[in-house]
Structure 1
Amino acid sequence: MTEGPITQHAPGMSWQRMAMTAAGVAGAVVVVQAVLNRETRDSLSVAEKAYLHDSFKYTGGGLVLTALAARYMFKSGVAFRIMAANPWAVLGVSLVGSIGSMMGVFYTPPEKTLQKHLFWLAFNACQAATLSPLFFLNPAILSRAALYTCGVVGSISYVGATATNDKYLNLGGPLLAGITVVALSSLAPMILPASIGMRSLAVAEAISLYGGLAVFGGFVLYDTQKILKHARMAEQGLMKPDPMNEAISLELDMINIFVRLVQILSMQGNRR
């Protein structure tokens, strides 16, 4: 008597789990708002609301384009060829392409609409090529990480938008120091010798994952308040409004949070 092959089905996202996640995010918003925003502004001005809306519109559009392009690259086999190629060459090309297209967006004035949008599309294409191998993972993990990312970024953005003016803009220096530590801890497994022990590598990995979540969460606060400050400056005629530039920073924050959540959820799944 022969038995058929045993297949494992990925656990779906139940309504109960989604409700618990939503309740957790709502509770986190209340706690963070109470701790960090003891003094909140009355309301956003019309200019601030419009500029914040335009910035998040480009952020959402960029993330949708990145996800669709990454999915297409996975379905067409590009993701497999990326993983099979020289990892250092792929890293170098994606890094140069991402930085080059990002600088193109930043240094192209808003009046040159076509050129700026082409650089923006190139930037999202580079992000898609980098993220496309993630589709080899369990779709349930990607869905949960995306849901958690939206909850985290949404709650932190709300805290930043309702805080008093420029309250979190002094976080720039500490956040840059934090991102340096996170970057070095991410490179630790490739640089440090194996003789240092698995415990040291595990500590470096924890700093990269959980420290990265904290640092990029702080960047969401910082970038949200920076958008509001730029909105006031644009209203006063001190600078030209450029929501696409603002969106690039928010998009990178969200992608880094998403990737770290995917890694954390994958690790938790492997331990079960």
Structure 2
Amino acid sequence: MLVAASTCLQGSRPLVPLIGRCCRWAGGQHPINVSFIRPFRLFPSKQTSMRNRFGRSQLNSTRGNDPSAPPAALDAGRIVIAAGAAVGLGGLCYYGLAMTPTKTDALSAIDRATVWPDYVRQRIKMTYAYLAGSAALAAGTAAALSRSPAFCRAMVGSGWLAPIGMMIASMGAGVVCQMLPYPASGTLGTKHLAWVVFSSSIGAMLMPVCLLGGPLIARAALYTGGIVGGLSAVAVTAPSDRFLAWGGPLAIGLGVVVVSSLGSMFLSPVSRLGSGMAAISLYGGLLLFSGFLLYDTQMVIRRAEMHPPPGHYSDQMFAGGLSVRQPLTIRPFDPINSSIHILMDTVNIFVRVVSILVGGGQRRK
């Protein structure tokens, strides 16, 4: 039960903020005197449905920018921020590569990679291959479902029912996928089928994001790729596995972000408490899942190094010349489960980057 509970918590990372956003778009229209608590609606009104809000955001994107914020100044600011981030990440990578102490317990993953056996390299390659496959399946599913009028009506026109149902289905698919053992032979089986279903359910959850338009999604994907690539480089080049000690603080931060996401679903966004919780869910969540990405990247490497090699445990063990049956069965290394954690971090970062880009575009109007 404890493993199942932790699996549900791990699989629910990208779902609560996205459902909160869907339900916020589907909420009722505020009266003139906005109250502290947001009105709860099970079904949306026509004026405040998600589709109408997406239509207004796309209509506003075709208008000119505010003269007080000229595009040249905004582009210059973005270039400065991007250059500063690149210099910072490059400095961290240089510190890990060129200034690492010579002690064995302070070697980075790149230093240890020179003595890795072939099976460790193969495990890491398979993990990131499944990660790329999951991302491709999720993106393809989201793009395909966004062209289905029936599914769009079900997701954006049914209030809370469809998003919550999709969230439960995605969580169930994630739990089943992580509970199934990976086949020792590596052939296609039930584990791979559950992996396809789970990746497709993530794409179905991300379908409303596709309604924001291709240019914004492309920019968000580009920024997300830069964030994930830079943080992965930092995790690989960091001296020792120091990010593995972040598990406890990250778990506490996850609880804070989940509570903030749930609170922002019901509190008015113009109130101090509601806007504060929304900011914690958005910007705090971006920092939190960036930390989770560092943690999970080093955890993937640690699992690949520490898991017993193939064929190490046979059906029988010999001690003192006597044949002894092995009491425990060691499962083979599971690259799918390892890739799911990084996929969750990437999806959460992507959703928050999209939200930041949408909010920044609306403030410039």
Relative to the length of structure 1, the TM-score reads 0.84
Say if 1:43 and 1:162, in contact at 8 Å, map to a contact too.
no
User: How many residues are matched?
Assistant: 259
Greater helix share, 1 or 2? 1
C-alpha deviations, 1:203-245, integer Å up to 9, x for none? 2111111111111001111111111111112245576211111
Query: Which residue is equivalent to 2:292?
Result: 219
Structure 1 runs (4+) greater than 4 angstroms displaced: 19-25, 34-38, 235-239
Structure 2 Cα separation of the partners of residues 181 and 86 of structure 1: 26
C-alpha deviations, 1:161-217, integer Å up to 9, x for none? 22244321111111111111111111223334x4x9623222211111111111100
Say whether 1:71 aligns with 2:143: yes
What is the one-letter code of the residue matched to 1:30? G
Say whether 1:8 aligns with 2:62: yes
Greater C-alpha Rg = 2
Query: Which residue is equivalent to 2:332?
Result: 240
SS at match of 2:189: helix
Structure 1 Cα separation of the partners of residues 240 and 332 of structure 2: 20
Q: 1:28 and 1:139, CA in 2 relative to 1: closer, same or farther beyond 3 A?
A: farther
What is the one-letter code of the residue matched to 1:150? G
C-alpha deviations, 1:237-267, integer Å up to 9, x for none? 5762111111111111000000000000000
Using the TM superposition, name which of 169-178 and 93-102 deviates more.
93-102
Say whether 1:251 aligns with 2:311: no
Structure 1 Cα separation of the partners of residues 256 and 132 of structure 2: 29
Q: CA deviation at 1:32?
A: 3.7
Structure 1 Cα separation of the partners of residues 345 and 86 of structure 2: 21
Query: Which residue is equivalent to 1:29?
Result: 89
Q: 1:250 and 1:119, CA in 2 relative to 1: closer, same or farther beyond 3 A?
A: same
Relative to the length of structure 2, the TM-score reads 0.64
Structure 1 Cα separation of the partners of residues 224 and 125 of structure 2: 19
Structure 1 Cα separation of the partners of residues 208 and 163 of structure 2: 13
What is the one-letter code of the residue matched to 1:205? A
Q: CA deviation at 1:36?
A: 7.8
**RMSD over equivalenced CA pairs, Å:** 2.9
Q: CA deviation at 1:109?
A: 0.9
C-alpha deviations, 1:11-59, integer Å up to 9, x for none? 9xxxx99x95975653242144367886352242244433222111111
Say whether 1:191 aligns with 2:245: no
Say if 1:145 and 1:262, in contact at 8 Å, map to a contact too.
yes
C-alpha deviations, 1:57-108, integer Å up to 9, x for none? 1111111111111111001222232111131x22332222112111122111
Say whether 1:56 aligns with 2:131: no
Using the TM superposition, name which of 259-268 and 132-141 deviates more.
132-141
Structure 1 Cα separation of the partners of residues 198 and 63 of structure 2: 35
Say whether 1:267 aligns with 2:359: yes
Say if 2:96 and 2:239, in contact at 8 Å, map to a contact too.
no
Identity %: 33
